[in-house]
Chains A and B, each alone.
Chain A
């Protein structure tokens, strides 16, 4: 094979250029990331804390394979390059049982460990699993709309739009549904996400460690105003939360079935609003919108549906 005889860059120059490029990339990335909020790696919720630990463990286990791969790749490619006539050349060498056993075996072992970790963590961090705590949980019902988030506090007769107030160090039991295309409720600083779907009830349990303001968004595209599906979560002291709830219930804005119907119409960039909740069954009413009109024959199928769906953790009747 005729090689390109012109070699303007010597080996040394090549190494220098590569290093400069590498440093430039790392530097640029560091510069634009430094000081920014990285909620997945710097969480403020009990669930997200555990997820962070999981991520670190997974990466560490992964490095047991990735690092050897990189080392072997470059060492072997360098040593056995055609220019190196000192290296042994065995063209018929086509396998080595011991080596193959090694790299079938070690990844198997790593995956075995990871499988165990997966089983434990998936059950421990199941979004449907309540958080263990002596503190009484606060219930919040979440509805994703076109293109805003509605938060209903059934025990306080309050509702909020595009922001959610919660007491810190208190388990928050979220039940979620959608009155819009499929969305995904995600507050990375506190916990992972869960989908919201019409006629379905999903659950998420979160708990904030500290007071703070946390960014939330929808992680599943739901139409033109999707990028505006952001909201904030305000974690506050328990007493502040109760005080807020008590005043909020006297808000001038009232959420009734009629005003909700208006609210549910497509709109973007709706300002944060606090409502007095006039219809305590609003969440269930929203879900029922998508279900079969009640009739004698349907109730059997409905109950059967809920039973079979129970193990899938989704309540929804069709």
Chain B
């Protein structure tokens, strides 16, 4: 093959790009084997049609939500393995020479990127899909097809970020890829391009999710549910989606500009040509800071629901909580510079952003007190969801304290980019977001499966995570004080840091035991599901989702309930006014659609094509995506009908199942 034809067909892809060092090859191999296993299994059990019809092309947000959780869960394992390798490298101080510096840098870059974009963002999208429609008394989201597109863009991005395990390499520039390091001059390979395009594709999916749920909450609430009667989780989603809508376009633009620098030699962030890397840092953090609030607000919402339910009491200070959520949402736009106090903006600018950062601590602190006082004069039971809450308050408060410490610019000069910083943000993300996710998982699991999770294993998992977290991250705070910076693949042994790194390594292994418990918990719970069947209301809940069957019917509610108070379901139970499905009407639900899958595949091809400079793939995938969009958007019959008779029959069947367990 002539080299011209070769470079046209394959861009800059060559056979050499498939060759990797043993560790990466092994990781890639495991992934490929896993994938093959799934494919073989589906073929052997003849489940392809079932999968396609019931899951992949489904527009039911419950299905989409579960798919988000499954993909995010798998990505959690990948990101966790990256973390284990980082801890191992630093605990052994590279004495085994297993990972090269470059490989190590790719590992922590992948760790951060995957955890933020493909675990945290995926999990909150999953929660939005599963919980929001049911909590507001709706059957679906505002834009069901867009919902599917969002999910498949998420999957496409996920595939792109995992592709470097097999072909090419990943970025070594950290989870935010600052230029000039991420520019063409210092990083001409495929690494940063993989990073850009996986985030770009997934980011568009996130933006669409934001619009979808924002409109859903504003327009699809049950009759009688005005804003101040919404469950507080829904408020938190409103805040989160508002943030998504405002800041994800900034990410899109910034990634595009970095990409243009790398593809067509523009000079946005280059060292010469008038480029300004500081501009990238400002833009990326203008997105980046609100991003962490996008992740944590839903976690706050989850805890509000969990504490109220398990204290059998109203949430303390609902209005205050709403104000606090909205304050945090707005304030999160005003603090981004605290991520680079050390870049030399001057005392006045630093002071402003430092003070704004401190101010955010106020509404956050208010929430903590309101949660605690929800338990006050309540009847508190400590099932697993509540344990996660208790762990959250402990860890998140410490994280908040360290955050306030760093919000003072002059002090931050001693903390920035050290392991103190790393410990702080893991404190917030693990203690806040992840614990919130685990609490949500154990809380709502019975709703979507119809059976409970094994409590004992859940408790073991919790304690392993909590203690493991403390053992893994407190040493990092101390190391920060000792002057250890982040992202080191080795250090001078005479610094005396190794002991602390070893302790941190033990902590991570303890967390690993917790993860194992969680996996075992799910398997065991599935095995024991017949003994642990539940009805629609296993926790004596307060909000509308506990009205639906467990698992809910496709349409959620046979008749949309009318609501008159906060904690509507609790009120209904108290006043014996639970709705009866007597006069059911026909229900319209969206038909399945393969176009979401097509757009996802096209986006995947697009992204990979740009990474490898295979332009014919880029053009064709773009055309396919456009055609798929046009076809779907000009579809005059997107819905199908469940006749009143069908609905009545299904409602009756669900009632029978409830009463007979």
Contact = CB atoms under 8 A, between A and B. Distances in A.
Determine direct contact between A and B, CB below 8 Å. yes
Interface of A: 1, 3-4, 21, 25, 28-29, 31-33, 35-41, 48, 50-51, 54-55, 58-59, 62-63, 65-66, 69-70, 72-73, 76-77, 80-82, 87-96, 99-100, 103-104, 107-108, 111, 114-115, 117-119, 121-129, 181-182, 184, 186, 188-189, 191-195, 197-200, 202-203, 215, 217-227, 230, 290, 292, 311-314, 318
7 contacts: A76-B375, A80-B311, A90-B377, A115-B358, A118-B354, A219-B416, A221-B173
Interface residues of B, number: 109
Contact of B368 (A31, A69, A189): A69
A219 B394 contact: no
Interface in B424-481: 455-456, 467, 470-471, 474-475, 478, 480-481
Contacts of B351: 118-119, 122-123
Contact of B381 (A1, A37, A54, A189): A1
Contacts of A39: 481-483
Given A122-B354, A224-B172, A194 B342 contact: yes
Interface in B297-326: 311-320
B92 interface: no
B105 interface: yes
B129 interface: no
Nearest to B318: A94
A51 B312 contact: no
B638 interface: no
A192 B271 contact: no
Interface of B: 101-102, 105, 172-174, 178, 180-181, 186, 271-272, 274-278, 311-320, 340, 342-347, 349-351, 354-355, 358-359, 361-362, 365-366, 368-370, 372-373, 375-383, 390, 393-394, 397-398, 400-401, 404-405, 407-414, 416-418, 455-456, 467, 470-471, 474-475, 478, 480-483, 485-492, 495-497, 499-500, 502-503, 538-540
Contacts of B369: 69, 72, 99, 103
Contacts of B311: 80
A88 B377 contact: yes
Given A41-B481, A197-B277, 20 more contacts: A69-B368, A80-B376, A88-B377, A90-B378, A91-B379, A92-B314, A95-B316, A104-B362, A104-B366, A107-B366, A114-B358, A125-B410, A181-B178, A189-B483, A191-B413, A219-B417, A219-B418, A221-B173, A227-B491, A312-B345
B365 A48 contact: no
A59 B412 contact: no
A54 B373 CA distance: 32
A38 B410 contact: no
A100 B318 contact: no
A99 B373 contact: yes
Contacts of A51: 410-411, 413-414
Nearest to B371: A73
Contact of B401 (A62, A191, A217): A62
A40 B318 contact: no
Given A1-B539, A311-B346, A318-B274, A55 B414 contact: yes
Contacts of B491: 227
Given A111-B361, A119-B351, A184-B342, A221 B487 contact: yes
A66 to B, nearest CB: 5
A136 B497 CA distance: 37
